Amino acid sequence: MVKVLVNGAGGRMGSEVVRTVMKEEGLTLVGAVDPKGAGKDLGELCEVGHLGIPVCATLEEAFAKDKPDVVVDFTTPKVIFENAKTVLGAGVNMVVGTTGLTADQRDELSKLANKTGAHVLIAPNFSLGAVLLMKVSEEIARYLPNVEIIELHHNQKLDAPSGTAKLTAEKMAAARKDAAAPDETRESLPGVRGGKYEGITIHSVRLPGYVAHQEVLFGGYGEILTLRHDSLDRKSFMPGVMLACKKVMDVPGLVYGLENYLE
């Protein structure tokens, strides 16, 4: 049994991970961290009944009680880097669903993981459908280099653009064989054309009611190709998280993107 600790257990994604781990064969829930819920019973915090697992205020406190095999982190961009250094520094494997880590920070965490022997997956999106959209977009970009991304999320998401949109742009930019056609548009309202990342325009929408959605629009001569993925419930991320909790045990070093676990 793989022992799992959930960091950010009181959040919407964290609590969903707690509920799913409880039912998943091969995984066992041994701890939880959430500063706002510290001292409460984990089951009561996540509304699944009493579990007898106290919620800790810090990772260090939780590790002292029962050191896990894997930490699943769904916290915030402000704290994820320090969280990851604490977990990997302790030689504990990690599955990171929190976005916001820069390329330089990922490089530093990779070196730390190699030093301590810990394994870590950093995934902007755990939805299998979203991962497949990225893979298909990468292939299409080889032949249709003119592309823009529209990503839509709930208005409580703390970062924009989404990590999924950025990773999609990175993959497409690397795959393009030809440069995109020049954009002759001139903004009369600054920012109305979105933001550029890796030379690809990304538009971020934040409204109540959305969960996680992304469109990739390819334009060709006399044709348009549109790909869209919609996560309508946070349960859509759970199969990918459970896969990651199991596979991270066997894949050394730092891996960026769930698609690398599907090959």
Q: Is the peptide bond before 124 cis (omega within 30 degrees of 0)?
A: no
Annotated catalytic residue, options 67, 85, 154, 157: 157
Burial level of 89, CB count in 10 A (0-12/13-18/19+)?
middle
Residue 66: both structure tokens together? 């029962």
Comparing CA positions, the residue from 92, 80, 59, 30 lying closest to residue 248 is 92
3-state secondary structure of 152: strand
Known catalytic residue: 153?
yes
Which residues are CB-contacts of 244 (< 8 A; sequence separation ≥ 6)? 95, 121, 123, 126, 258, 261
Annotated catalytic residue, options 119, 153, 166, 213: 153
Residues marked active site are found at 153, 157
